[in-house]
A = this chain, B = another copy of it.
Amino acid sequence: MAFYLLERDREGGQRLAQLLAQAIKQVGHCQHCRTLCEKALCSICENKNRDHSLLCIVEGPAHLAAIEQTGGYHGLYFVLSGHLSPIDGIGPEEIGIDSLAVRLTQGAVREVILATSATVEGEATAYYIADLVKSHGISATRIAHGVPMGGELEYIDGGTIAKALADRTMV
């Protein structure tokens, strides 16, 4: 990209630089859910038609975008700054779990959906938050793990197959 801009599109490079500087200055965090936005509250938190009793916890703004793209979720979000990673010195406060605890005391939330990744750190973060959520008397749910849509069993890793078998559901 650097070579392309320097060799063929210096004007575009200039525009990109300006827009980037502008974004760095203007894009902040939503006061309510901590996602990236240019106003005090993001469009999702401001939307009265969404279900304010449902709170989905994600690891970052890109994960929020992935869920929004499905068009199937109508609750609110709480965006962490990554996941717990004690080895790297990243504890609950570094990723914003203290703000989440404050939000849970405000009473509007009925169910917290733990949508952290299915990685070791994501699971640990989900367990930690589940304890916090349950201590406030709120339901905690975890997104399902198993065979992805379109997945042929033959090409799927053993861990996922074992989890899919263990979590089988009645039909």
Contact = CB atoms under 8 A, between A and B. Distances in A.
Contact of A151 (B118, B154, B167): B118
Interface in A38-97: 56, 58-60, 62-63, 66-67, 69-73
A143 B146 contact: yes
A36 to B, nearest CB: 14
Interface string A131-166: 000000001111111111111111011111111111
A115 B146 CA distance: 11
Given A154-B66, A169-B167, A149 B159 contact: yes
B140 A171 contact: yes
Interface of A: 56, 58-60, 62-63, 66-67, 69-73, 113-119, 122, 126-127, 130, 139-154, 156-171
A114 B148 contact: no
B72 A139 contact: no
Contact of A147 (B69, B140, B143, B152): B143
A58 B127 CA distance: 33
